[in-house]
Amino acid sequence: MNTKKVALMLLELANLMELRGDNPFKVNAYRRAARALENSRVSLEVLRERPEELAGVGKGTAAAIREILETGELEQLKQLKEELPAGLPSLLEIPGLGPKSIHALYRELKITNLDELEEAVKEGRIRNLAGFGEKKEKNMLEGIRNYRERPRHHLLVHALPIAEKILKRLQELPEVSRAETAGSLRRMKETVKDIDLVVATEAPSAVAKVLTEMPEVTKVVASGEKKVSLLIDLGLEIQVDVRLVAPSQFISTLHHFTGSKEHNVRIRQRAKEFGWKVSEYGICDPAKGEDFAFREEKELYEKLQLPYVAPEIREDRGEFERTADELPRLIRLEDYRGDLHMHTRWSDGTGSIKEMALAAQKRGYRYIAVTDHSQSLRVAGGLTAEDLKRQREEIEAVNEEMKDFTVLAGVEMDILPDGRLDFSDEVLKELDLVIASIHSSFQQDEETITRRVLNAMENPYVHIIAHPTGRLINRRGPYALHLDRVFQKAKETGTILELNSHPYRLDLNDIYLKKGKEEYGLTFSINTDAHAPEGFDFINMGVATARRGWLEPADVINTWPLDQLLERLNGNHS
């Protein structure tokens, strides 16, 4: 439990109270308390003892905070979830539809779910309600359409731990000699439809029995000696397809179910040049009646006289046109030396500067940059210029305490809707690292929003553009940014573009990373945007995406030693 999780529960309670039509003063009390927690700079221990000392937290909300911290739950929230129609809270996912509007629809038209909402919109029954009208009705219909068309794929970060848990169970079975993930999960795509596993065994029936009897299985879709398909619920219901093969077929099957459809087509075409055939069970020479078995995937590529291709880039995006020397030496987690985008209790984070530094040092990092939000982002407790001065004093104190580790003083500064930056050059020049990003007015037209980013890149004190396209995977599309113009400006100014590792962002994505590297020669930064020490765990998502984007260590400033990094930052736009 941390303050952010407590704040989220209070915010959820406020939303559900508003859906029910509760007293606005009570609703706002919980919202104020949630904001106070989000902006709090006190430790969890202090919060547990004296929550009412936080500005915005009253007697009632303090009791709720203590209940959450002591039990991990909130009885009032639990009761509300049971009381309200099950489909009502899901309407909050429709863009532009807030709790007040949903309550009005529930009260006046008895709308309790998405189907009923869509029917009412199409019949024109909503436009006559107070506060709605035809324009809002039209926007609601568009929001419903976008929601329904949203791809039903799961975030990689949610599917991965489920796959790893099942994989561990399989690997511990005496009947299993080898087992690995496959499919888009092994290629580390940002979203996956299902989980693919490949298992080598001489006893497929016994393994299938273990799989179908797992307690998390909600449905057995199919069960045989070659394939088992299950619906698994481990906090997320997802389909798991397990291929059961003989040990001699394992590598061929693993390779077949790892590569994209396009990659596998090229593999079959290559085999055809030798007169061979490829199937999910192996490569064979029909003329000689010979089947080829492999101990590792590298042997399979060598047999086809191809350089080995890492799983993440088996997409037919140029890997077959490269020699072994021309394929990239993809970045690894071990290459990473420090995170340059994070938030502390000074803004909307939950850890202190020292806590973040110690957590990073424990991971083997050599440096970090503290980049709390700037003054205009009030909802996130943005810092003023005076706050930044006081924060630098704390950073200097932490640096004096720690050995062989450096904390850089930075900021994540808002690019305002009119293109201005949130701080003057006088403030920015005092910082080690300046990140610029957009947090508002996402709906601006392409020219306006592109110009905002270009303006920031032209500033001599801006080093990095964070999460450049602004997308949230499965939640919000990118804003109308002209990326080629941004890439060209980055090339001209030396501005670094970020790959934000948060699993809802992964922004820039792999396609844009590869384009930025190969067509513009750009340099990137991979950061977690951590708001707590555990947020550093997301770095594996960022590195995986960087690998999919063909990035090498030299392409990423976080792999550079501190002196090289500082030289680049101090000679910004050179």
CATH number for 398: 3.20.20.140
In eight-state DSSP terms, residue 342 is: B
Yes or no: say if 433 and 407 are a contact pair by the CB < 8 Å rule. Answer: no
Q: Reduce the DSSP state of residue 356 to 3 states and report it.
A: helix
Residue whose C-alpha is closest to residue 126's, from 112, 109, 110:
109
Q: Do 445 and 468 fall within a single domain?
A: yes
Does the pLDDT at position 128 exceed 90? no
* Backbone phi and psi for residue 93, each to the nearest 5 degrees, phi listed first: -80, -10
Residue 493 identity: T
pLDDT in tens, 344-381: 999 988 889 999 999 999 999 999 999 999 999 887 78
Task: Label residue 16 by pLDDT band (50, 70, 90).
Answer: very high
- Is 510 or 71 the better-scoring residue by pLDDT? 510
Q: Please spell the DSSP secondary structure of 396-461, one letter per residue.
A: HHHHHH-SS-EEEEEEEEEB-TTS-BSS-HHHHTTSSEEEEE--S-TT--HHHHHHHHHHHHHSTT
Residues 387 and 291 grouped into a single domain: no
Instruction: Report the CATH number that the domain containing residue 230 is assigned in CATH.
Output: 3.30.460.10
Q: Which residues, 6+ apart, have CB-to-CB distance to 288 below 8 Å?
A: none
Left (φ > 0), alpha (ψ -120 to 50) or beta: where does 151 sit? beta
Type and span of the H or E element at 499: strand 496-500
Computed over its alpha carbons, how large is the radius of gyration of the chain?
26
pLDDT at 46 over 80: no
Residues 174, 319, single domain; the answer is: no
Mean pLDDT of the chain: 92
Helix ranges, 112-155 (H): 114-122, 134-149
Q: Does pLDDT of 47 surpass 80?
A: no
Asked if the structure places residue 211 within a domain, the reply is: yes
Query: Binning pLDDT at 50, 70 and 90, where does residue 139 land?
Result: confident
Residue 572 confidence (pLDDT) above 70: no
Selection from 119-123, 235-239, 261-265 with the highest mean pLDDT: 261-265
- Kindly state the average pLDDT of the residues 559-573: 90
For residue 257, count other CB atoms closer than 10 A to its CB.
Answer: 19
Same domain, 161 and 173: yes
Q: What angle do CA 455, 459, 462 make, to 5 degrees?
A: 105
Q: Are residues 174 and 285 in the same domain?
A: no
Do 547 and 435 share a structural domain?
yes
pLDDT, position 42: 67
Asked if residue 42 lies in contact with residue 345, where contact means CB atoms within 8 angstroms, the answer is yes
Residue 256 lies in a domain: no
Q: Looking at the structure, do residues 409 and 515 belong to the same domain, yes or no? A: yes
Mean pLDDT across 505-528 = 98
Assess if residue 250 is contained within a domain: no
**Tokens representing 358?**
């110690």
For residues 507-522, average pLDDT: 98
495 near 489, Cβ under 8 Å? yes
Q: Residue 231 has what pLDDT?
A: 95
Last residue of a domain, one of 245, 272, 289: 245
Task: Give residue 322's domain range.
Answer: 261-327
Q: Is the pLDDT of residue 574 over 60?
A: no
pLDDT of residue 518: 98
Q: Quick one: which of 103, 83, 192, 97 has its CA closest to 138? A: 97
pLDDT in tens, 462-500: 999 999 999 988 877 899 999 999 999 999 999 999 999
For residue 464, the cross-strand partners are: 435, 496
pLDDT at 573 over 60: no
Predicted confidence (pLDDT) per residue in 402-421, tens digit: 999 999 999 999 999 999 99
CA atoms of 111 and 102, how far apart (whole Å):
8
Res. 32 pLDDT band, cuts 50 70 90: confident
Is pLDDT at 322 greater than 60 in this prediction? yes
Helix ranges, 201-278 (H): 204-212, 250-256, 261-273
In a domain, 299, yes or no: yes
Q: Looking at the structure, tell me whether residues 408 and 516 fall in a common domain.
A: yes
Q: Among residues of the chain, what percentage have pLDDT more than 90?
A: 73
Task: Kindly state whether residue 253 falls inside one of the protein's structural domains.
Answer: no
Question: CA 499 to CA 486: how far, in whole Å?
Answer: 14
CATH number at 273 reads 3.30.210.10
Question: What is the chain's length?
Answer: 574
Q: Does residue 343 carry a pLDDT above 90?
A: yes
Q: How far, in Å, CA of 111 to CA of 118, rounded?
A: 10
- Round to whole Å and give the CA distance between 488 and 278: 43
Residue 530 has pLDDT above 60, yes or no: yes
Give, in order, the Cα–Cα distances in Å from 449 to each of 417, 452, 458: 8, 5, 15
Which of 286, 304, 327 lies at the terminal end of a domain, its last residue? 327
Query: Among 130, 149, 168, which residue terminates a domain?
Result: 149
Whether 356 and 213 map to the same domain: the answer is no
pLDDT at 469: 97
* Amino acid (one-letter) located at 5: K
Q: How many domains does the chain have?
A: 4
The HSE-up count of residue 146 (CA atoms within 13 Å, CB side) is 15
Q: Is 27 helix (H, G, I), strand (E, B) or coil?
A: helix
The answer to the question of residue 143 being in a domain is yes
Name the helix (H) or strand (E) containing 155. strand 154-155
Can you give the pLDDT at residue 406? Answer: 98
pLDDT score, position 41: 64
Please say if the pLDDT value at position 174 is more than 90.
yes
| pLDDT score of 351 | 87
The answer to whether residues 199 and 323 belong to one domain is no
Beta strands in 158-226 (DSSP E): 176-182, 191-192, 195-201, 217-223
Find out whether 497 and 528 touch, Cβ atoms under 8 Å: no
Quote the pLDDT of residue 150. Answer: 65
What does the CA dihedral 138, 139, 142, 147 come to, rounded to 10 degrees?
Answer: -140
252-259 mean pLDDT? 98
Residues 276 and 223 in one domain: no
Same domain for 233 and 275?
A: no
Average pLDDT value for residue range 532-539 = 93
The reply to whether 463 falls in a domain is yes
At 31 the pLDDT is 86
Angle at 534 between CA 529 and CA 540, to 5 degrees: 65
The answer to whether position 41 is within a domain reads yes
- Quote the pLDDT of residue 263: 97
Residue labelled with tokens 């078995």: 293
